[in-house]
Amino acid sequence: MAPVKMIAIDLDDTLLHDDISLSDYTKDILRKVMERNIRIVIATGRMFQAARPWGQAIGLGDVPLICYKDMKTEYEQKNLALLNLEKALEQEEFVVCYQPVVEGKTGQIVSAEALVRWNSSGEEPMIPSVFVPELEESGYITKLDTYIDQTVRRFQEERYHKGKRMIPVAVNLSRMDLMNSRLMERICTELQETKVPKQYFRYEIIESAYTIISKEGEEFLKRLRKEGVQIFLDDFGTGISTFETVRDYTFDALKMDMGFVKKIGKDPKRDAIVISIIDMAHRMGMKVVAEGIENKQQSEFLCNHGCDYLQGYYYYKPMSAEEFSKLLDK
């Protein structure tokens, strides 16, 4: 048998997960292959500008790419996102998915996070890293977040009125949302009007949003917590003012940045940081959620050190509303 000299790999449904992410395990395997002088080539139907970041993300530099020939630049793609946003919302091209979160002690599903995908008609799905930053910069992100929030609210209301099993579902709010008076007032009004108990609604805010949060944004989050809505601090550990944030604001839980989770068992210093974050949060009266869990080692380490809630592909992938409902109804 002739020796293998080159491996051509597709991106979607091969290298990448369903939520368009690349695991550390996959990257490690590819590095080992390269160390054996076997060439890695990405062969994809994506356009060059959409494929190149994943070649770089593998950590091997600019690996060769076989792509769909197209002259669109990344700049044009980003502007296309802004131009097509209204149309995409009207035609429901944005699909809200749900990723379950399990309790560390029991492994039972206790909550979920709402995530979004853009399935543009006639185009390949656009990765969030292309359109989300532009939507945030332009302020249009509030329209998308409003759509996600209202979709989740309808989902919860339908299950509640049918007497189905209920669990909290978290919606992400961007830094721009916390500066938009109309959006914040709408959320408060709709929460007051819904018959669904407030405990089934949650909001996650990334740590960096607190570096520029307005007084109005602070009051909005306090108002939500008074209504019984829980507020989670997302991506904890990535900001430059991490400890100042938890010192100055009140949260119900911290979501540990997945960068810590992915290094569990590989770096004793990072393991110590993970243990310290869990201990600190508990001492401050907060729960801890670890996301991005992909294997048994990570799961067992977190459970053994008292992490309250776990989220990741090791347990459940993001799924459609229909799939999520079926899972809850089992």
CB-based contacts of 246-253 (< 8 A; 24+ apart in sequence):
246/280, 246/281, 246/284, 246/286, 248/210, 249/210, 249/218, 249/221, 250/222, 250/225, 251/286, 252/225, 252/286, 252/287, 253/281, 253/286, 253/287, 253/288, 253/289, 253/308, 253/309
Distance, CA of 201 to chain centre: 17
Q: How far apart are CA 276 and CA 269, in angstroms?
A: 11
| pLDDT on residue 276 | 94
The 3-state DSSP class for residue 77 equals: helix
Instruction: Encode the chain (330 residues) as per-residue pLDDT tens digits.
Output: 667 878 888 876 677 765 556 677 777 787 788 777 787 787 776 655 556 556 655 555 556 666 655 544 444 555 555 556 777 777 788 889 999 999 999 999 999 999 988 886 655 666 666 677 777 766 778 889 999 999 999 999 999 999 999 999 999 998 889 988 999 999 999 999 999 999 999 999 987 787 678 889 999 999 999 999 999 999 888 765 567 788 888 899 999 988 899 999 998 998 999 999 999 999 999 999 999 999 999 999 999 999 999 999 999 999 999 999 999 998
| CB distance 199 to 231 below 8 Å | no
Give φ, ψ of 240 to 5 degrees.
-85, -15
Can you list the domains of the chain with their CATH numbers? 6-68 (3.40.50.1000), 75-329 (3.20.20.450)
- pTM passes above 0.85: no
For residue 189, the one-letter residue type is: T
pLDDT digits (tens, 9 = 90+) for 116-147: 888 866 556 666 666 777 777 667 788 899 99
- pLDDT score for 250: 86
**Given the structure tokens 């356009």, which residue do they identify?**
47
Q: What is the pLDDT of residues 76-114, one digit of tens each?
A: 555 555 556 777 777 788 889 999 999 999 999 999 999
Q: Return d(Cα 100, Cα 112) in angstroms, integer.
A: 4
Tokens standing for residue 129: 């890293």
For 84, left (φ over 0), alpha (ψ -120 to 50), or beta?
A: alpha
Query: How is the beta sheet containing 39-47 ordered, strand by strand?
Result: 6-9, 39-47, 65-68
